[in-house]
């Protein structure tokens, strides 16, 4: 019996030893099917895409634990053949990506994982925390910008790889549009330099686009030429589309709006193409020269004008169709331009060059979205580069249009001397009229500004000074009396039990009551005093060169004037409308501020209310 047990133990030990040997011998072959860890530390940007392991989740319901089990079961596939980015196409599936980082340095390494696609709807990173459990960081273009781990137009996650250790990450991605996942690893210092350069490039593009839009907008306003207006609209929608594509719009325009990113991109692109088609029809005159083709352009304009309705309701369902629709539209427009160039239309040469560079950039971007072209600097920023060149070339086209019109005008003037003289006289008259109109308009604007300035200083309900004018007058009086060494008094008044008055008689009666109180208080002040509505049922009077007794006397006169109105107040123990007043007076100087004077008057007002209302109290008495 013992010998049999011993034989079994020997057999098991031998089998275990052979299994270990086989594992060592076959490990290189198994490694060929799995992604290699990213070796750290590195310099600059390290491509992490080729080191990813991929698992498709058609149900989009897998948890982290299930994804980890799937890796143990060998269901992940290597992406070693992918360069720069994973092009996963248009799908409703979620994808789990596994990335392993290996640090050979004797100290911990700080890295940044950069997912360079601002239009991925949902991006969730699972990274080990200090206690070894995985910490979830969920963000994406369909989530508020505040969910980003770092403030960046793309999705950037900070990582810490332990000394001489490894870090295993899981990344879950899902999108309502074509899914492209470019992943890079950065050292923190290198990423800071790259980020500054990246935002500088973005700022240059949007700055050029804004300058061109504003310049042509001014030309449109001055010339009333429809082509300039269409060009401006095209530039605006192009900027919006590229701003959404690059993530700049989500960061700076609407960081809190969920699900705006991808519908906005397609909407701006469609309307940009609509404006471009209209601009082409205006510049090339297709309605006269190519009437049949012009019908196709008009149909395309209607289609691009109506498609945004679908983007806001079913963007995922129509995204692939939209991409191909853009491709067909680009090819159609390119064909029209080529035909007009064959017809030797002067505008077509400039227009064709501008259109060609724009469409080349657009096609590069679209083919990258379809997974046909790889992800690199040209394909990522191709649309921006093409758009920038297009704007500049169209500016030359518009300048040539100016020069052409000028040459025709000069030729006509040289042939018709009398017409030229008449034109000069007409232009001179127009200039005089324009100058006169500018002067008239300037005077009107000055008058309106003065009126608005006056209105901004008056309380709309009572007709007396408002809080803004009070603040200005208080500052001026304070500065003047500080130089003169004279006292400045302030009386603060409050209508007693005004809320009860409003509740009992209604707000219209309350408004009329405030107007009566304002008129009564205005009757007791000097011409140099300033009466203002401080807020609600509170009023304030500034009395320059008035000491404490004078301020108290002014407050008592205000109480008597309001009491003399005899305005019935059924909810007041006095039976009529009354006010409580707090008076204060100080000599402006070092250590005393206007706020101190306000606080003293306010405290005296509260004392008057505490003593029974319908009375005046001097601060410090």
Kind of pairing between the strands at 488-495 and 579-586: antiparallel
Which residue from 558, 588, 556, 582 is spatially nearest to 488, judged by alpha carbons? 588
Instruction: Give the percent of the chain with pLDDT over 70.
Output: 87
What pLDDT is attached to residue 242?
A: 84
Q: Band of the pLDDT at 18, cuts 50, 70, 90?
A: very low
Kind of pairing between the strands at 538-544 and 616-618: unpaired
Residue 550: inside a domain, yes or no? Answer: yes
Residue 24: inside a domain, yes or no? Answer: no
Average pLDDT over residues 152-178: 91
Helices (runs of H) and strands (runs of E) counted in the chain: 18, 18
What pLDDT is attached to residue 260?
A: 62
Where is average pLDDT lowest: 51-55, 319-323, 609-613? 319-323
- Taking the chain, what is the end-to-end CA distance rounded to the nearest angstrom? 113
What pLDDT is attached to residue 138?
A: 95
Q: Is the pLDDT of residue 24 over 60?
A: no
Cα pseudo-dihedral 597, 601, 606, 610, rounded to 10? 130
What pLDDT is attached to residue 380?
A: 62
Q: Is the pLDDT of residue 444 over 90?
A: no
Q: Band of the pLDDT at 452, cuts 50, 70, 90?
A: low
Catalytic residue positions, numbered: 537
426 with 527, same domain? no
User: pLDDT tens digits for 473-508?
Assistant: 999 999 999 999 999 999 999 999 999 999 999 999
What pLDDT is attached to residue 368?
A: 63
Mean pLDDT of the chain: 83
Tell me which DSSP letter residue 343 carries.
Answer: T
What is the Cα–Cα distance from 103 to 165, expressed in whole angstroms? 5
User: pLDDT tens digits for 546-555?
Assistant: 999 999 999 9
Q: Band of the pLDDT at 312, cuts 50, 70, 90?
A: low
Residue 28: inside a domain, yes or no? Answer: no
Residue 169: inside a domain, yes or no? Answer: yes
Which residues 6+ apart lie within 8 Å of 3 measured at CB? none
544 with 486, same domain? yes
| CATH number, domain with residue 601 | 3.30.70.270
Strands (E), 79-198: 86-89, 94-103, 109-115, 122-128, 134-139, 155-161, 166-174, 179-181, 183-187
Which comes out higher in pLDDT, residue 291 or 453? 291
Tell me which DSSP letter residue 290 carries.
Answer: -
CB 562 within 8 A of CB 521: yes
What pLDDT is attached to residue 570?
A: 92
Residue 339: inside a domain, yes or no? Answer: yes
Average pLDDT over residues 292-310: 82
Q: Is the pLDDT of residue 439 over 90?
A: no
Residue 21: inside a domain, yes or no? Answer: no
CB 616 within 8 A of CB 552: yes
Average pLDDT over residues 560-568: 93
**Strand, coil or helix: what is 129?**
coil
**Strand, coil or helix: what is 363?**
helix
What is the Cα–Cα distance from 356 to 333, expressed in whole angstroms? 10
Residue 208: inside a domain, yes or no? Answer: no
User: pLDDT tens digits for 503-548?
Assistant: 999 999 999 999 999 999 999 989 899 999 998 899 999 999 999 9
Q: Is the pLDDT of residue 33 over 50?
A: no
What is the Cα–Cα distance from 323 to 329, expressed in whole angstroms? 10
Q: Is the pLDDT of residue 4 over 60?
A: no
Which residue from 108, 117, 198 is spatially nearest to 158, judged by alpha carbons? 108
Q: Band of the pLDDT at 46, cuts 50, 70, 90?
A: confident
Best-predicted range by mean pLDDT (179-188, 277-286, 510-519): 510-519
434 with 540, same domain? no
Where is average pLDDT lowest: 144-148, 352-356, 496-500, 519-523? 352-356
181 with 230, same domain? no
43 with 183, same domain? yes
169 with 311, same domain? no
514 with 592, same domain? yes
Where is average pLDDT lowest: 60-69, 301-310, 514-523? 301-310
Where is average pLDDT lowest: 68-77, 206-215, 337-346? 337-346
Q: Is the pLDDT of residue 361 over 50?
A: yes
480 with 603, same domain? yes
What pLDDT is attached to residue 59?
A: 92
Q: Is the pLDDT of residue 236 over 70?
A: yes
CB 617 within 8 A of CB 607: yes
* Of 149, 174, 193, the domain-final residue: 193
Max distance between CA atoms of the chain, in angstroms, equals 133
Q: Is the pLDDT of residue 31 over 70?
A: no
User: pLDDT tens digits for 287-298?
Assistant: 888 888 888 888
User: pLDDT tens digits for 578-605?
Assistant: 999 999 999 998 889 999 999 999 999 9
Which comes out higher in pLDDT, residue 604 or 404? 604
Q: Band of the pLDDT at 460, cuts 50, 70, 90?
A: confident
Q: 564-568: long-range contacts at Cβ-Cβ below 8 A with a sequence spacing of 24 or more? A: 564/520, 565/516, 565/517, 565/520, 567/513, 567/516
508 with 598, same domain? yes
479 with 404, same domain? no
Q: Is the pLDDT of residue 326 over 60?
A: yes
Which comes out higher in pLDDT, residue 190 or 325? 190
Best-predicted range by mean pLDDT (248-252, 325-329, 412-416): 248-252
40 with 146, same domain? yes
| CATH number, domain with residue 47 | 2.60.40.2380
Average pLDDT over residues 96-116: 91
Residue 202: inside a domain, yes or no? Answer: no
The count of other CB atoms within 10 Å of the CB of residue 325 is 18
Gyration radius of the chain's alpha carbons: 38
Question: What domain range includes position 502?
Answer: 467-618
CB 518 within 8 A of CB 531: yes
Domains in the chain: how many in total? 4
248 with 290, same domain? yes
Where is average pLDDT lowest: 96-100, 327-331, 339-343, 396-400? 396-400
């Amino acid at each position: 019996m013992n010998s049999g047990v011993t034989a079994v133990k020997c057999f098991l030990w031998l089998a275990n030893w052979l299994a270990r040997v086989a594992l060592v011998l076959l490990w290189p072959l198994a490694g060929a099917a799995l992604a290699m860890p990213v070796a750290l530390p590195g310099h600059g940007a390290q491509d992490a895409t080729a080191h990813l392991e991929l698992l498709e989740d058609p149900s989009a319901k897998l948890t982290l634990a299930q994804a980890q089990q799937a890796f143990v079961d060998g269901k992940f596939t290597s992406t070693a053949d992918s360069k720069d980015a994973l092009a996963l196409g248009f799908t409703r599936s979620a994808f789990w990506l596994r990335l392993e980082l290996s640090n050979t340095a004797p100290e911990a390494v700080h890295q940044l994982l950069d997912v360079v696609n601002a239009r991925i709807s949902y991006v969730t990173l699972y990274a080990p925390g200090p206690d070894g459990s995985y910490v979830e960081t969920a963000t994406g273009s369909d989530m508020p910008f505040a969910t980003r781990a770092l403030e960046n137009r793309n999705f950037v996650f900070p990582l810490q790889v332990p000394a001489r250790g490894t870090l295993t990450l899981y990344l879950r991605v899902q999108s309502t549009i074509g899914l492209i996942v470019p992943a890079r690893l950065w050292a923190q210092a290198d990423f800071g330099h790259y980020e500054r350069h990246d935002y500088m490039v973005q700022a240059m593009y949007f700055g050029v686009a804004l300058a061109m839009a504003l310049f042509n907008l001014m030309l449109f306003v001055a010339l009333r030429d429809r082509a300039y207006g269409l060009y401006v609209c095209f530039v605006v929608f192009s900027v919006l589309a590229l701003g959404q594509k690059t993530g700049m719009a989500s960061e700076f325009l609407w960081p809190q709006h969920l699900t705006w990113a991808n519908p906005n991109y397609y909407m701006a692109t469609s309307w940009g193409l609509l404006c471009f088609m209209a601009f082409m029809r205006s510049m090339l005159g297709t309605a006269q020269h190519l009437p049949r083709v012009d019908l196709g352009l008009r149909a395309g304009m209607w289609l691009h004008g109506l498609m945004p309705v679908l983007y806001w309701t079913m963007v995922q369902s129509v995204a692939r169709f939209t991409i191909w629709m853009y491709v067909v539209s680009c090819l159609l427009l390119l064909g029209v331009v080529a035909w007009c160039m064959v017809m030797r239309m002067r505008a077509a040469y400039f227009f064709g060059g501008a259109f060609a560079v724009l469409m080349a950039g657009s096609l590069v971007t679209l083919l990258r979205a379809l997974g046909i072209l790889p992800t690199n600097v040209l394909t990522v920023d191709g649309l921006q580069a093409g758009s920038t060149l297009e704007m500049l070339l169209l500016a030359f086209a518009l300048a040539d249009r100016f020069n052409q019109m000028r040459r025709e005008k000069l030729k006509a003037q040289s042939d018709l001397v009398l017409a030229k003289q008449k034109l000069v006289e007409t232009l001179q008259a127009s200039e005089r009229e324009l100058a006169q109109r500018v002067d008239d308009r300037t005077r009107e604007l000055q008058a309106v500004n003065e009126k608005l300035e006056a209105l901004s200083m008056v309380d709309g309900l009572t007709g007396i000074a408002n809080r803004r004018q009070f603040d200005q007058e208080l500052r001026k009086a304070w500065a003047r009396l500080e130089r003169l060494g004279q006292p400045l008094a302030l009386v603060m008044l409050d209508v007693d039990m005004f809320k009860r008055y409003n509740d009992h008689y209604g707000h219209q009666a309350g408004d009329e009551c405030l107007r009566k109180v304002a008129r009564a208080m205005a009757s007791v002040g000097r011409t140099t005093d300033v009466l203002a509505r401080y807020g609600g049922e509170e009023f304030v009077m500034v009395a320059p060169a008035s000491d404490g007794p004078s301020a108290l006397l002014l407050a008592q006169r205000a109480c008597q004037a309001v009491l003399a109105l005899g305005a019935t107040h059924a909810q007041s123990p006095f039976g009529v409308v009354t006010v409580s007043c707090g008076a204060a007076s100080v000599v402006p100087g070092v250590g005393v501020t206007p706020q101190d004077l306000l606080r003293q008057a306010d405290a005296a007002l509260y004392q008057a209310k505490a003593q029974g209302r319908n009375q005046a109290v001097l601060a410090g008495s």
